[in-house]
Structures are given as structure tokens and as C-alpha cells.
Amino acid sequence: MSQFAINLIFVGASFALYIGIAIWARAGSTKEFYVAGGGVNPITNGMATAADWMSAASFISMAGLIAAGGYAYSSFLMGWTGGYVLLAMLLAPYLRKFGKFTVPDFIGDRFYSTGARLVAVACLIIASVTYVIGQMTGAGVAFSRFLEVENDTGLMIAAVVVFMYAVMGGMKGITYTQVAQYVVLIIAYTIPAVFISLQLTGNPIPPLGLFSTHTESGMPLLQKLDEVVRELGFQDYTADVSNKLNMVLFTLSLMIGTAGLPHVIIRFFTVPKVADARWSAGWALVFIALLYLTAPAVASMARLNLLTTIYPAGPTAEAIHYDERPDWIRTWENTGLIRFNDKNGDGRIQLYNDVPAFQETAEARGWAGNELTVNNDILVLANPEIANLPGWVIGLIAAGGLAAALSTAAGLLLAISSAVSHDLIKGSINPNISDKGELLAARISMGVAIVVATWLGMNPPGFAAQVVALAFGIAAASIFPALMMGIFSKRVNSKGAIAGMLAGLISTVVYIFLYLGWFFIPGTATFANVEANWLFGISPLSFGAVGAMINFAVAFAVSAMTEEPPQEIQDLVESVRFPRGAGVATGH
């Protein structure tokens, strides 16, 4: 059986499962559409939350980024995981006690203002739309390789599948679909990692294999990897980070961005009790850890496998001839995600760090420039092929990559749909809309959001994990501070909350576009040509933490200069702060 047929079977079977679940769990009311009826078991919700969380960025891009950047990119692991601790401790139980459907619902009622609700809707949509770009991009990468279709065609297929189960099932269908997607993606991620760890180190447990001995060289795996990358002009894989401030701010931005992402927060509205919200967060951390402990090993082993494939006799010896390149390079070349340009005309593939500091060494070896461009997003997906694993493993990882992208895309699209139908239409435009009318509006909003997300996926501003990092910055600067102040401060009023959210959002978005150059110099800006102008060396991807500080400062300052919130709002804050985990929260 051909590899294409195997991939088609795995992917087709997983899609049939998702759609079947959506038909079985079809939402019949707005409560089922928004919060799955509010009766989801904490373990089930924890697994669904993990799938919702472990997006294309986690499954596809994160290991690729760590593989390319080494220790410096461990911030992704620390920030995203640490954010769940914040969510479990500071937000989840209190928001569940409030008993609403959405994040703007909480902000609008807590700050007794339609304006605050509308600003929260705008912040939610901007963060969610930015985030969903990465998911659609990741789905396109997986489709283009494993189903041998164009990237845009893959995006269209992904959009149709998400439309079928998300529009039909709402949160109820998405919840149980995400449980199935978690099982698919964790098996798909773990099995290839076990095989590769065995091949390289003889240890079947990838996190332990990362710190084991490289079988072929007899050196510790990471020491061997450092040696190889150093010989090719790259910084040591385990090298420390020079800009500590930027690393701290980036990690903090990811942490508070995680705690402020609306599609994750709404998952905690689906459980019966306040205590269940805490348990859901705990279970989610357990399920997430299974992948996140494996990711650094996958990244390191993928980088070593790639370089030793190109330089089988070592980085100072001759590279393989292009005509003798392995099949996995040929197949990924067809997607356009690997490109070869023979700059010195020797017919061999030179892959190295083409920077001035390494130029003299490169010229001495007869190299005239780096000749192989490899998209970071493909490393996890290509890893089984690089390691010559069986065809069924490749089919499994195809299904897993798509499950990761589609599960998070569905959660984000539901957050966008809920914001439009529940917070915008019912909360502001037509408060008297019927339950049936609101459900129809939610489904139409979902359909429109899918169309917009698909278009943006075809025209993304960066590869998946970079785009996702920007979404976290926006959520960190706008939504997280409003939620924190809404729960823990009785003094912050509607004027302060609105001013803070706008200040955090605008400052972060302006900094991102100004210093990444996507807005002012489209098509030409790179990190390298604007980094010198970063304020205090702060990357645009790290600015969400600064935006959050601006939000807090402005909100408290404006609130201090204006009237106190009404007494009933202060009493509400007091009651929300003491969840007393046993009782059933007030319904909506």
C-alpha cells in the first residue's frame, strides 16, 4: 500500500470520527452551544482543554522552533505551561463562580458597562483571529504534505471539516470531538518520538533519551548536537540567552497570555461546580505535560537527524550530493517548504549558518552560501521520514498534526462566534432575541469566522508559532489585566477598565506592527532589519507583558481619579472572590 493511501486512511478515519461525534452531540440550545450544557466531567474537560490548548503551534511549530533556536526557545515551554498554573490559581474558579457564558459577559457585568463589554469583544476577536491564523497555517502545512495537495487546497479542506462539526455541535460537539483529538494527537506525537529516541540513544523514553548517550558517537546527545551545530557556524544548541530581560518578558507574556486566552477560559464555564474548574485545570496540566515533556527531545533529535542526514560523514566533510538526497527531502520539496539552491555549483547540499562571522570558514570549505532552506514548521511532521520509520507512523503523525490544528481552531472559532452572537448581538444590539434566534446567529457567526480564518490562513504574517505568540501578547495586554482587576479589585471602575484595555491593546498592537515591520514595510521586514530599533531590546513578541503593565497602570490611575463602582458591584466582587468550591455556580 502506498504512503499516500495510508495517510488517507488515517486522516479520513479521524475526520469521520470527529463528524460522527458532532452529529451525536449536536447542540440544541444556546447553553449547549456555548458551554456544552454546563455538565462536562472535569477529567473529560481537562482532556478537551489540553487538545484545545495544544494547537498547531504546540504540535507542529514549537519543536521546530526549539530545534532551530535551542535553549533560547525554551521560553515557549515555560511560558505556555506556567500560564496554566496562573489560570488554575487566579482565574478559573472565580470566573466559574460568576456563572456566565463568555469573557466579555463577565467584563460587561463586572464593570457595569456596555462599552466595557464591546471593548472586551474587540480584544477577544483580535486575539482569537490572530491565533487562528496559526492553526489554519499549520493545517495547510500538514495537508499539503500528507494528502499531496496545494497548501490553499488543504486550508479549504480543513475549513470544511471544522465547519461541519463546530457549526453543528457548538461547544457540546467540540468538547467530545476534542477528547478524541487529544487521544489522536498524543499518540501521534509520542510514538515517533519513542522510535527516534530508541534509534539515537537506545532509550525508549524521549525525555530521558535527551540526556542519554548518542549511540553512534558515544557522546551525550546534547554535547554531540552542540558539536555539530558549532562546526556549521551556529550558536551552541545549549547556549545561554544573552538578552535576559527579553527572555523574562517573553515568558511572562506567554504566561499571562495563556491565562487571558478566551477560548481556553470558556472551557471552565462548561463544568458543573466551581471546584470542578480547578480540577479541570489540574487534569489539563497532566495531559499537556505528556506532550510538553517530550517536545524538547523531539526538537533536539530532529535537528541532529537533519544535520547528520545532510553531512553523514560529519559537518567538516562533504555533504550529500543533491541527486542522492533522501526521499523525504524530495517529497517535502514538492510542497515548497524545502528549497535547494546550488550556489557553488558542486551539486552537493550545503546547510550552514550563512553569517559574516562564519564566512571565512565557509569559503575555506568551498561553500558560497547556505543552499538549503527548511521551513521550521515541517520538522515534527518530517521526523518519522527522516528516521525511516514505518509508513503507518507517518500516517499517524499526519492525523495528529491535523487534530492539533483543528481542535484549537474550533475552540477559537467558538470564542469568536460567542462574542458576536451572545455579547454583541444579544448583549448590545438585540437584547430580546429568542434562544432560537441567538443559536442561529451563533451558527452564522461561526460560518463567517471560518471563512475569514481560512483567508487569513492563506495569507499569514509569519509561520505558525510566531503568529500564535503575537496572539498571546494581545491577550496578555488586554484581557488578562481586566479579568484580574475584575476579580481582585473592588476599586477599579468601568472608566478605568475601558481605558486600561484600550491602552494595553493599542500600545501592544502598535509596537508589534512598528517593530516587526509587517504594517509599514510589507513583504520586506525581517527580525534582523528592525531588531536594532527595539526599545530596550524588547522583542515585539515579548511586548505583551509591557502592554499588560500599561493596562494595569492606566486602569488604576483612571479609577483613582473617578468615582467608585456602585456598592452592589463591590459586593459582587467580594462574592466572586470566595468560590467555596462545593456549590453549584449560578447559571445564566
Per run of 10 residues, the mean pLDDT along the chain (length 588 residues) is 85 86 81 83 91 77 86 85 82 81 87 91 84 74 73 82 79 86 88 92 95 94 95 92 84 88 83 86 89 92 91 90 90 84 93 91 92 84 81 84 80 86 86 88 88 79 55 87 94 96 91 60 38 74 92 97 94 76 43
What is the rounded distance in angstroms from the CA atom of residue 108 to the CA atom of residue 406?
30
pLDDT value at position 32?
84
The phi and psi torsions of 348 (rounded to 5 degrees) equal -105, 160
Q: Supply the pLDDT for residue 462.
A: 52
Predicted local distance difference test score (pLDDT) of residue 38 = 82
Q: Are the beta carbons of 52 and 178 closer than 8 angstroms?
A: yes
> Which pLDDT belongs to residue 287?
92
Looking at residue 469, what is its pLDDT? 59
Q: What is the enclosing helix (H) or strand (E) of 339?
A: strand 338-340
C-alpha cell of 143?
A: 495537508
Q: What is the pTM of this model?
A: 0.81
Domains of the chain: 3-302+386-576 (1.20.1730.10)
Cell of 518: 509587517
DSSP 219: S
pLDDT at 578: 67
Q: For residues 454 and 255, give the distance between their C-alpha atoms in angstroms, rounded to a whole number.
A: 27
202 torsion bin: left (phi>0), alpha (psi -120 to 50), beta (else):
left
Helices (H) and strands (E) in the chain, counts: 27, 2
| Nine cell digits for residue 525 | 521586514
